[in-house]
Structure 1
């Protein structure tokens, strides 16, 4: 059985993927992390958790760029490069649908982890408007009485 991380019953990271910064964040919220980094708990701040997920994505990309700079081909392609979608559809349009390819990327590509997190929380967050202070211009907050359910193991 593989290690999986869930947010509101939606798998948020890939199979067997565990990120130290996420585990540190979970611990900082008072959630007990057990053997093999398993945990169950609730989070009370959407934007704070989003920042951690965004930092994970940026760290993954930084590592890929470092690999490319060092001449390594393994995991050196940018996670922000969506050119493969065009290549797959243009090469064999009878076998590959543009929409199917786009949906596959949105659901599974590393660059969309923050979006996947938002989608996993969409029933319990509300958009509060734009802000021009800080990094985020779109601000969300948990609806009154709601918590983000997190589990891993």
Structure 2
């Protein structure tokens, strides 16, 4: 049985929309079983869609703060995509639209937010309520940096997918 929501409409198994902000087109997907989701979780998901730019900024700030840890998925992602021997190195360099003097920070700031998966049935603290998928030169590379946040926008996982 499906549930009705003011923002998402009739919620069954899958809802998708392209959201535009800051010269980006982001695919936002709501993936849930309409029977197992609470209206309050759908409200939080709708608010997150409306505040996508703010949530994106918060995540990028967190990524920058993790650059000191050589074992972090952020550093592993950057080491991979910024490798000058990479076949798409020229495309990646062209995608870095900032030059502050810190190449890693410039790359993080230049990444595209490609997709956001919302899972409102994961509504307990520590559950992956939303996944934000990032890429530098997303049309040219398969490498992705994926950050999962919980209902309160706390990061629960960051991983590098190559």
Q: Give the structure with the larger strand fraction.
A: 2
Q: Which has the larger radius of gyration?
A: 1
Higher helix share: 1
The TM-score with structure 2 as length reference comes to 0.26
Which of the pair has the greater relative contact order for Cα pairs under 8 Å at 6+ separation? 1
